[in-house]
Amino acid sequence: MATYKAPLRDMRFVLYELHDGAALSRLPGLEDMTSDLLDPVLEEAAKVCEDVLFPLNRPGDEEGCHFENGVVRVPRGFAEAYRLFREGGWTGIACDPEFGGQGLPKAVNSLVEEMICATNLSFGMYPGLSHGAYLALHAHGSDALKQRYLPPLVDGTWSGTMCLTEPHCGTDLGLCRTKAVPRPDGSYAITGTKIFISAGEHDLTENIIHLVLARLPDAPKGTSGISLFLVPKFLPGADGRPGSRNGVACGSIEHKMGIKASATCVMNFDEATGWLVGEPHKGMRAMFTMMNEERLAVGIQGLGLAEASYQGAVAYARDRVQGRSLGGVKAPDKAADPIIVHPDVRRMLLTMRASVEGCRAIGAWVAHAIDVQTHSPDPQARRDAEDFVALMTPIVKALFTDLAFEATNLGVQVMGGHGYIREHGMEQYIRDSRIAQIYEGTNGIQALDLVGRKLPAHAGRSLRQFFHPVGAFIAAHAEDDALGPFVRPLGKAFVRLQQATGQIARIGMARPEEAGAAATDYLRLFGLVAMAYQWARMVQVAQARLGSGGDDAFYRAKIATARFFMDKMLPQTGALFSIIMAGGAPLMDFPEDAF
């Protein structure tokens, strides 16, 4: 029973009420970004996603992509949908107006991305990868490359990819073997094979721009010797239009568990012509502009899928009748009561709901910080926002996608045997969500990034952007009669996070394996505390709005969901703290030959 209606009311809540969307219009370059402009954008995005993308989701999954003689064709209906998507300007809503974009804030673009991912993740991969390529090129490309390649990327007539992984190396990109040989005309001959390349080949756009990591002949070993190159499928002619075919071709496509309508390709580069992006041997810095954006985007993928699964599960639970309520008959006119009356069904639905709305609040918080980082005239404000986004990126990627996999599994569980059957559309969400825990750096890698890089960075400076506002909020409201019941559980969990952070900081440098053993549990602990902080703030807003006119049911539901989170989900932090403090010996002392 797959169903979807864009959660616009909750999106407006986090955009305007929780995170002060009006502040966006006070940033240079975003002066026109008021609700009068942004609300119609969200409403139109909802129509496109509900009416165009959602109906293609299951058929696209069943048909998949077609590969023949080096050509990839997307499922039926995708090309027409992409044309409508591109003509509507959706490929460039968050891009620089200098290159044809609309310049909308990240805070709005992330909500649009959520709707796209909820309705058709496979489709969303194509413009999603293009936007990542746009960001890397916009930040690090030469003026000549930007003038030639950004306008068609922004208007969607061309698309982009990210080519990192090779058959022998994934996370450890220092093992990259793809070669880049300089040519007299300033271009480079790129030779090598890349795998797992999303949208590497397809028939949606007239050209595909590959951003490829490769090594120059004089490159030092490791990641410090990797450079980034722009390699188009077709070399642009003098008129800027696609001309002769470049030496890059798709060797095969993968047959996957999920996102089957997204072409995942093996790409072969045979002395393909490319151009250096950024400085020699500094490719990782340029690529991480794209990687960090994609990690945040993958978190939003998880959020979208969890929302879609929640909506499908609720619709089924309201309609399906089985058994009678333990508290007495609720539907005497029916042979049985709807299963939504049963405690365990409510546990599952509320777990999904609390996860989705909590993640949406965190995602909007980070997106707002990106807008400050990009547009604020205050250098200190930009630096603080940059520190916060860097700290939260691995948490958004890992927490959102872990919770999404849990939520999509719960969605199937609510529907029982009907959820397991393909025709009802719910099992697809599980399969599609599973990859989000893997690509753009597995969630274990995100946890290592958090404890190994983000915590010690700048002598712990990034942590202040989280710890200080949370601590101040708790101190200000713990004794508040109305808010205290929500703030005090947050305070207890926050103390656990502080103590766990101190423990990891003490042992991390001297005994890295101890920090590594704690990393995954620490990231979940951090994420739950961040979510608890957002839930407490949402209650604060909702309590203040009650009785102000017409939307009391929404605010009461928000407060009730917060109560469930605080009482039934946040206590996990106690167990996580105990696991972290138990140390790494139970993992590392186990004899390797006993596995």
> pLDDT of 357-369, one tens digit each?
999 999 999 999 9
What percentage of the chain reaches a pLDDT higher than 90?
Answer: 92
Cα–Cα distance, 415 to 161 (Å, whole number) = 37
Q: How confident is the model at residue 174 (pLDDT cuts 50, 70, 90)?
A: confident
Region for 188 from its dihedrals, namely left if φ exceeds 0, alpha if ψ lies in -120 to 50, beta otherwise: beta
Report the DSSP beta bridge partners of residue 584. Answer: none
Over residues 48-57, mean pLDDT: 98
| Alpha helix (H) residue ranges in 320-416 | 343-375, 379-415
| 290, pLDDT greater than 80 | no
Report the DSSP beta bridge partners of residue 494. Answer: none
Q: 68: Cβ–Cβ under 8 A, 6 or more apart, which residues?
A: none
Contacts 24+ apart (CB under 8 A), 367-370: 367/105, 367/106, 367/107, 367/109, 367/110, 368/19, 368/20, 368/23, 368/24, 368/106, 368/107, 370/106, 370/107
Cα–Cα distance, 162 to 307 (Å, whole number) = 27
Per-residue model confidence (pLDDT) at position 288: 78
For 138, the enclosing helix (H) or strand (E) is helix 106-140
Tally: H helices and E strands in the chain: 18, 11
17 has catalytic annotation: no
Distance separating the N- and C-terminal Cα atoms of the chain:
42
Residue 422 CA to chain centroid, in angstroms?
A: 25
| Alpha helix (H) residue ranges in 52-105 | 54-63, 78-87
- Mean pLDDT, rounded, of the chain: 95
Tell me which of 201, 293, 440, 514 is the catalytic residue.
Answer: 440
pTM of the model: 0.96
Q: 204: Cβ–Cβ under 8 A, 6 or more apart, which residues?
A: 74, 78, 79, 82, 126, 159
Query: Tokens in use for 399?
Result: 């927490």
Q: How confident is the model at residue 276 (pLDDT cuts 50, 70, 90)?
A: very high
